[in-house]
Structure formats: structure tokens, C-alpha cells
Amino acid sequence: MKKLGIQLKRTRWSQLIALVLVFTVALGGSSCKSKKKIATEKATIELANKIAQAKASLVDLLRDDNPKTYEEKVAELNRIKKLQLRDPQVEQLIDQVDTKQLAESQIIEKKRQEEKIRQETVNLKLKRQAEIDNINAHFISIAQAANAMEANLRIQQTLTYYASPEVPVLLIIDIYGDNKKDYDKPTTILHYLNYLKDVKMYKRQIESIKFDVNHKIIEIELIKN
């Protein structure tokens, strides 16, 4: 009987321990499932927030009055693309922003080309005016030379800008009608420079100049101030 009582006690303890183990395992499994559920819910919420923020940013990029620079808008679009959200509405908005930015880039490029042409035109005009001022300065320096020797030296320096001493100098008397011109008796650059040396006065301005392939003057028109 004593042995039977001991065996019954052992059996009850074994059963109790088994129940505790089952309960512990059940609690542990429930805890793991709960953590996974929380993590999944958290990830879902974070993804939803990212999608919502991306949509808001994309809609903002579609605004015509968006204050950001083109470069800033391109950077923002690229940032959203890198998120790879795989949301249909986000992807649709990305396509719309892509189209808008392409059109904007074309407008920017067109303006850049127009500005380039405008600047080149301005530079060309400035260069031409500088050439005219330089040629006029030669004429003035000869007319204002202190003596014949100085005038002759300046004449020789001036002739280096011309294709030859025989380059025609056309002296305009009048311009009328459809840019029709009356000329004085034709002369050459050498004769005209010697004329300036003698009269010691230059009262004309350059109307037009023609150059050869070496950028030497081959014809010049002068008109009275």
C-alpha cells in the first residue's frame, strides 16, 4: 500500500509538471504570434504612411505654381521612385510627373538655346563695334599726328589691317530710298590715309566693312558724322 501511495504521488507530480510545460509553451507560442502580428501591423502602417506621403509629394510636383527649382523637383521624383512602393496610384502619379518634367526640361532647353543665341548676337555686335572703334581710332591717330614722320609711321601700322594699300574706300555722300547710296569719287585706303595726314581732320564714321578669309579689310564705306 505504501508503495502504491508513492507511485500515485509521483504520477500526480508528473501530470502537474506536464500541465505547466504545456501552459508555458502555449503562452510562448501566443507571445511569438502576438509579436509577429504587431510587427506586421507596424510594417503595414509604415507602408501606408510612405504611400500617402509619396502621393502628397507627387501631387505637389504636379502643381504649376510649385516654387521648387527644376533640379529640386527632379531630385524629389527620383527619391520617390527609389522607394519602389508598387502602388497603382503612386505609379500613375509618377508617370504624370515624368511627363510634366519632360515638358519642363524642353522649355528650359529652348530658353537656354535662345539665351545662347542672344548672347552670341550681343558678343558679335560688341566685337564688331570694337573693330569699328579700333579702325576709327587709326584714322583719328593719323589726323592728329604731331608731325609727318609720326603720321607716316601710323599709316604703315594701319595698312597692316588691310588686304592691300589698294583696298577701295567708298565715301558716302547720301543715303536715300531703299538704302540707295550716292558716293564721292572713289579712292584707296593708302590715298585716304595720306589725305587724313594732310588735312589733319577726320569727320566720318564707318558705315560698313568687308573682310576676306584672313580677316583683312577688303572694302570700307565711310559716311559723314
Question: Same structural domain for residues 217 and 152?
Answer: yes
Phi/psi class of residue 30: alpha, beta or left (left: φ > 0; alpha: ψ in -120 to 50)? alpha
* C-alpha radius of gyration, the chain, whole number: 46
Confirm whether 35 is domain-assigned: yes
Confirm whether 126 is domain-assigned: no
Q: How confident is the model at residue 8 (pLDDT cuts 50, 70, 90)?
A: very low
218 vs 169: CA distance, rounded Å: 9
Question: What pLDDT score does 183 carry?
Answer: 92
Question: Same structural domain for residues 218 and 148?
Answer: yes
Share of the chain above pLDDT 90, in %: 71
Count of domains for the chain: 2
The residue with greater pLDDT, 112 or 16, is 112
Mean pLDDT of 150-173: 96
Q: How confident is the model at residue 200 (pLDDT cuts 50, 70, 90)?
A: very high
- Residue type (1 letter), 84: Q
The residue with greater pLDDT, 225 or 10, is 225
The H-or-E segment that residue 91 falls in is helix 88-143
Contact 209, 217 (CB under 8 A): yes
- The CATH number covering residue 163 comes to 3.10.450
Mean pLDDT of 3-27: 52
Question: What pLDDT score does 142 carry?
Answer: 97
Mean pLDDT of 173-189: 90
Q: Considering 64, 86, 108, which residue would you say is the last residue of a domain? A: 86
| Whole-structure pTM value | 0.60
Q: How confident is the model at residue 18 (pLDDT cuts 50, 70, 90)?
A: low
- Long-range (24+ apart) CB contacts under 8 A made by 207-212 are 207/172, 209/131, 209/132, 209/135, 212/163
* Helix (DSSP H) and strand (DSSP E) numbers for the chain: 5, 5
Question: Same structural domain for residues 143 and 65?
Answer: no
Q: Considering 28, 53, 86, which residue would you say is the last residue of a domain? A: 86
Question: What pLDDT score does 4 carry?
Answer: 41
Q: How confident is the model at residue 82 (pLDDT cuts 50, 70, 90)?
A: very high
Question: Same structural domain for residues 147 and 219?
Answer: yes
The residue with greater pLDDT, 99 or 4, is 99
Question: What pLDDT score does 61 carry?
Answer: 94
Confirm whether 124 is domain-assigned: no
Confirm whether 95 is domain-assigned: no
Domain extent at residue 60: 2-86
Confirm whether 167 is domain-assigned: yes
Q: Considering 56, 86, 116, which residue would you say is the last residue of a domain? A: 86
Question: Same structural domain for residues 71 and 149?
Answer: no
